[in-house]
Structure 1
Amino acid sequence: MANLIYPLYQLMTLFTAFLNPIAFHGEPKPRVEFDSHKALFVFGDSLFDPGNNQYLNGSLPQPSATTWPYGETYFEHPTGRLSDGRIVPDFIAEFAKLPILTPYLKPGSHRFTDGTNFASAGAGVLPETNSGTIHINLQLSYFKDVEKSLRKEIGNEAAKNLLKRAVYLFSIGGNDYFNFYTMYPSATQTDQRKYVEMVIGNLTSVLKEIYGMGGRKIAFQNAGPLGCLPSMREMNPNLGGECAEELSKLAGLHNRYLASVLKKLESELPGFKYSLFDYFNSLGDRVSNPSTYGFKEGKAACCGSGTYRGSGCGGGVSGTDLFEVCSDPGEYVWFDGAHTTERTNRQLAELLWSGVPNLTRPYNIKQLFELA
Structure 2
Amino acid sequence: MEYSHTKLVSFLLLFLILFLSSGAEARRQPNFRPTKLFVFGDSYVDTGNTMKVDSSAWKDPYGESFPGQPAGRFSDGRVLTDYIAKYLGVKSPVPYQLRESKPEHVKYGMNFAFGGTGVFNTSSQYPNMTIQIDFFEQLIKNNVYTKTDLTPSVALVSVAGNDYSYYLLTNGSAEGFPSFLASVVNQTKINLIRIYELGVKKIIVDGLQPLGCLPEVTLTSSFQQCNSTFNALVGIHNSLLNEAVAQLNQQAKDNSTFIVLDLYDSFMSVLNHTSSTSGHKLKPCCVGLSSEFSCGFVDDDNVKQYDVCDVPKSSFFWDLVHPTQAGWHAVYNKLRKTTALKQLY
TM-score, length-scaled by structure 2: 0.81
Aligned twin of 1:328: 311
Deviation, 1:296, is 6.4
Q: Distance in 2 between matches of 1:168 and 1:123?
A: 17
Identity of aligned residues (%): 28
Q: Cα offset for 1:184? A: 4.0
Q: Does 1:244 align with 2:232?
A: no
Partner of 1:350: 333
Count how many residue pairs are aligned between Structure 1 and Structure 2.
310
How many angstroms does 1:171 deviate by? 1.2
Choose the corresponding residue for 1:194, options 166, 179, 182.
Answer: 179
Q: How does 1:94-105 map to 2 (within 5 A)?
A: 94-105=86-97
Instruction: Name the structure 1 match of 2:108.
Output: 114
For residue 270 of structure 2, the aligned residue among 267, 270, 286 is: 286
- What residue number does 1:180 align with? 167
Alpha-carbon offset, residue 273 of structure 1: 0.7
List aligned pairs for 1:1-372, cutoff 5 A.
38-54=35-51, 62-106=54-98, 107-110=100-103, 111-126=105-120, 128-149=121-142, 151=143, 159-184=146-171, 187-188=174-175, 191-234=176-219, 236-237=220-221, 241-271=224-254, 272-291=256-275, 297-305=280-288, 312-315=294-297, 322-352=305-335, 354-357=336-339, 360=340, 364=341, 366-368=342-344, 370=345
Q: Which letter maps to 1:222? A: G
Q: 1:101 to 1:244 in 2, by over 3 A?
A: same
In the TM superposition, what whole-angstrom CA distance separates every residue of 1:107-145 from its partner, at most 9, and x where no partner exists?
Answer: 42433331111111100011x222412210011011112
Give 3-state SS (helix, strand or coil) of 2:281's partner.
Answer: strand
Query: Structure 1 residue 324: deviation in Å?
Result: 0.6
How far residue 80 of structure 1 moved from its aligned partner, in angstroms, is 1.1
Deviation at 1:38, TM superposition (A): 1.1
Distance 2:223 2:61 in 1: 29
Q: Deviations over 1:136-178 (max 9, x none)?
A: 00110111122234x357xxxxx21321221111111410111
Question: What is the DSSP-based 3-state SS (H/G/I as helix, E as strand, rest coil) of the residue aligned with 2:60?
Answer: coil
In the superposition, relative to structure 1, how do residues 195 and 316 fare at CA in structure 2: closer, same or farther (>3 Å)? farther
| Contact preservation (8 Å) 2:38, 2:156 | yes
1:303–1:313 contact (8 Å) kept in structure 2: yes
- Structure 1 portions without partners, runs of 5+: 1-34, 56-60, 154-158
Q: What is the DSSP-based 3-state SS (H/G/I as helix, E as strand, rest coil) of the residue aligned with 1:162?
A: helix
Could you tell me which runs of 5 or more consecutive residues in structure 2 were left unpaired when the two chains were aligned.
1-31
- Contact kept, 8 Å, 1:124 with 1:136, in 2: the verdict is yes
Pair 1:168–1:253, CA change in 2 (3 A) = same
Distance in 2 between residues matched to 1:356 and 1:176, nearest whole Å:
28
Distance 1:288 1:37 in 2: 33
Is this contact kept in 1: 2:215–2:223, CA < 8 A? no
| Alpha-carbon distance in 2 for matches of 1:73, 1:45 | 21
Could you list the per-position Cα deviations for residues 205-240 of structure 1 after superposition, in whole angstroms to 9, with x for gaps in the alignment? 111111211221111221111121111122x35x98
Q: TM-score, normalised by structure 1?
A: 0.76
